[in-house]
Amino acid sequence: MSHSQSPSSSEATELVRFSVPFEYPVHFTAGVFAPENTLLREVLTRLEPERRHRIHVVIDAGLAAARPTLSREVAEYFRVHQAALELVATPLLIPGGESAKNDPALIQSLLQAFADTRLDRHAFCLIVGGGAVLDAVGFAAATAHRGIRVVRVPTTVLGQNDAGIGVKNGVNAFGAKNFIGCFAPPFAVLNDHEWLQTLPRRDRIAGMAEAVKVALIRDRDFFEWLWANRAALAAFESEATRYMIRRAAALHLRQISSGGDPFESGSARPLDFGHWSAHKLERLTEHALRHGEAVAIGMALDTRYSFEQGLIGEADLERVTSLLTELGFELFHSVLGAQDAEGQLLLLRGLDEFREHLGGDLSIPLLDGIGRSVDVSEFSAATVERCISWLGSRYAESNSG
């Protein structure tokens, strides 16, 4: 602590400076609630193995509908391990998908449930579900008693390779994505690939967008791997899918632990390639587009933009867009061309909103070759319009023949 005070002055400053170490494991496993799988018990008891731990389980109702035995499996797991673990209430089911992040009453009811079961700061909220449920319940848990322990069990591709493994929580409000939220690292994450078996095709595809994203801006070898394995990935072959998730998760985690700005204090959000327009597209379509689907369109747009800026060549542009198309993404949506009364593209407001969300100056990642990104602070409306036209004609061509 530094200290400055002159003897004659009544003014003084104490500089407070400290850092808080964070650490959490991200496990890759299978059969997380199989009674003989002790990983979950070990995870929950790792800090105080001698104590009995209290756990409140919250489950994505979309997942529960696809796997009707789930609540029973959870109850059975806690019965078998009751010497170490106490399930404080019947698992709570909440609506899955973006509606979990669009309903303020849900946060209130979660907090009420935590209060009713008298969860304290050493008790656990175990969240099982997709990225939206993890974001919303994680936010509620981070604010109850200023933070109860959260263990996440992500059950979607996107949850396992991005949304469920990081430090961000939040819900949508006032017309903006993730307007209310916080940075709160989880206690642990358990990625179980068996969940993905019930995931609808649409969500399987959508989740791959974040893997393509992180390859494009961080890891050329991974991009080459995605390209070489695109048919296996599109067919959702188990081994390829698991590798894709592992590697994308590792790249996201490396950014958090070694990128120098885990709580995003700076203006840059280096992993948000394709996201300025994706967030806007999600809102403009009232979430008819999944996050991953919007990110795929946003990446196609910004890849073309990178090409127009001379940052990548035509062969790479073709490969990126072909990869996304072959994985199953549609790289156009009619709302891309929607205008306000003055003839301004509505999408372009996404640039201002992106800057406002981050604070500071506009900073948008573009591709600088495959596997590298460069942040730019200026974005040309005319170029964005040209990129949209290009996406439109490409889409029309592919649908006409």
Ligand X SMILES: NC(=O)c1ccc[n+]([C@@H]2O[C@H](COP(=O)([O-])OP(=O)(O)OC[C@H]3O[C@@H](n4cnc5c(N)ncnc54)[C@H](O)[C@@H]3O)[C@@H](O)[C@H]2O)c1
Binding site for ligand X (CB under 6 A): 60, 62-63, 66, 96-98, 101, 129-133, 135, 155-156, 158-159, 162-163, 166, 168, 195, 198-199, 203, 206-207, 290-292
DSSP codes, 230-294: HHHHHTT-HHHHHHHHHHHHHHHHHHHHHSS-TT--SS--TT-TTHHHHHHHHHHTTT-S-HHHH
Tokens 């919303």 found at: 136
195 vs 329 by CB, closer to ligand X: 195
Query: Minimal distance in Å, beta carbon 334 to ligand X?
Result: 22
Q: At what angle do helices 291-308 and 314-327 cross, to 10 degrees?
A: 170
Query: Minimal distance in Å, beta carbon 130 to ligand X?
Result: 2
266 vs 369 by CB, closer to ligand X: 266
Token pair recorded at residue 78: 């806690």
56 vs 292 by CB, closer to ligand X: 292
Query: Minimal distance in Å, beta carbon 10 to ligand X?
Result: 46
Query: Minimal distance in Å, beta carbon 209 to ligand X?
Result: 9
113 vs 166 by CB, closer to ligand X: 166
Query: Minimal distance in Å, beta carbon 300 to ligand X?
Result: 18
Report the distance separating Cα 51 and Cα 169, nearest Å.
28
Q: Count of H helices and E strands in the chain? A: 15, 13
Neighbouring C-beta atoms of residue 317, cutoff 10 Å: 18
Query: Minimal distance in Å, beta carbon 350 to ligand X?
Result: 14
Show Cβ contacts of residue 122 under 8 Å, excluding neighbours closer than 6 positions. 48, 53, 148, 149
135 vs 219 by CB, closer to ligand X: 135
Report the distance separating Cα 29 and Cα 144, nearest Å.
29
Q: What is the DSSP letter of 345?
A: B
Query: Minimal distance in Å, beta carbon 63 to ligand X?
Result: 4
* Cβ-count burial 239-266 (b if 16+ within 10 Å, e if not): ebbbbbbbbbbbbbbebbeeeeebebee
Q: What angle do CA 197, 201, 203 make, to 5 degrees?
A: 90
Q: At 106, phi and psi to the nearest 5?
A: -65, -40
53 vs 204 by CB, closer to ligand X: 204
Query: Minimal distance in Å, beta carbon 127 to ligand X?
Result: 11
Of all residues in this chain, which one has the CB nearest to ligand X in the complex?
A: 62
CB 207, CB 293: distance < 8 Å: no
292 vs 365 by CB, closer to ligand X: 292
Report the distance separating Cα 221 and Cα 218, nearest Å.
9
203 vs 219 by CB, closer to ligand X: 203
Report the distance separating Cα 131 and Cα 143, nearest Å.
18
Show Cβ contacts of residue 7 under 8 Å, excluding neighbours closer than 6 positions. none
Query: Minimal distance in Å, beta carbon 128 to ligand X?
Result: 9
289 vs 323 by CB, closer to ligand X: 289
